[in-house]
Amino acid sequence: MNENLENKIDFKQSLISFYRKNKFKLIFFFIIVLLAIVGIFLMNVSKEKKNLLISEKYIKAGVYLSLNDNDQSLKIFREIIMSKNNFYSPLSLYTIIEKNLETNPNEILKYFDIIENLNIEEEQKELILLKKALYLINIDKKKEAISILQKLTKTQSNYKELANEILKFK
């Protein structure tokens, strides 16, 4: 019992001694950890705000589109693509293509390049490549389209069978 009490006192003394010797290091360490936590929190809040603003822009572009203000809608969809948002940028490109808002194929291909370089899941990248190939077929750039489709058939893509079917017709 006496030995147990001495061990507690020794532990307590060694802990106090450690604290006194390393007081500034411990305070500095806790401040750094606290700042890191606050920084991560602020980055997440900023990212959420940015996503919210982009989603509002996407809705606004849709409203302009429904009002047949295609120029204003295209302008906003371009901004969204240039923001490189993983979710709304591809949607904006698909809407531009679907509604024929952009008549310059080179611009559309530039948008595809931007979206292909986003940090997104592999399956989404494969879908983008498939849509790009279909767009290239639509604008009579069949060699480039075939090249993309052949790449898709050589991977374990979910779109492998679809790419093979498209290649059969070309």
- Which residue pairs, CB below 8 angstroms and at least 24 apart, start in 157-161? 157/123, 157/126, 158/123, 158/126, 159/126, 159/127, 159/129, 159/130
pLDDT at 1 over 80: no
Q: Cα–chain-centroid distance for residue 42? A: 18
Backbone angles phi, psi at 162, to 5 degrees: -65, -45
pLDDT tens figures, 80-105: 999 999 999 999 999 999 999 999 99
Mean of pLDDT over the chain: 91
Q: Is residue 110 within 8 Å of 136, Cβ to Cβ?
A: no
Contact 133/145 with Cβ under 8 angstroms? yes
Mean pLDDT of 24-40: 93
Indicate if the pLDDT at residue 68 is higher than 60.
Answer: yes
Distance CA 159, CA 128 (A): 11
Decide if pLDDT at 9 tops 70. Answer: no
The confidence score (pLDDT) of residue 118 equals 94
pLDDT band at 35 (very low <50, low <70, confident <90, very high): very high
pLDDT at 22 over 90: no
Residue 58: pLDDT over 90: yes
pLDDT of res. 63: 97
- What's the mean pLDDT in 29-54? 95
pLDDT digits (tens, 9 = 90+) for 119-149: 999 999 999 999 999 999 999 999 999 999 9
Which is more confident, 129 or 6?
129
Contact indicator for 73, 61 with CB cutoff of 8 Å? yes
Q: Is the pTM of this model over 0.85?
A: no
DSSP 104-159: -HHHHHHHHHHHHTSS--HHHHHHHHHHHHHHHHHTT-HHHHHHHHHHHHTTT-TT
Q: How far apart are CA 24 and CA 10, in angstroms?
A: 23
Q: Is residue 169 scored above 60 in pLDDT?
A: yes
* Closest to 68 (Cα-Cα) out of 46, 94, 99, 39: 99
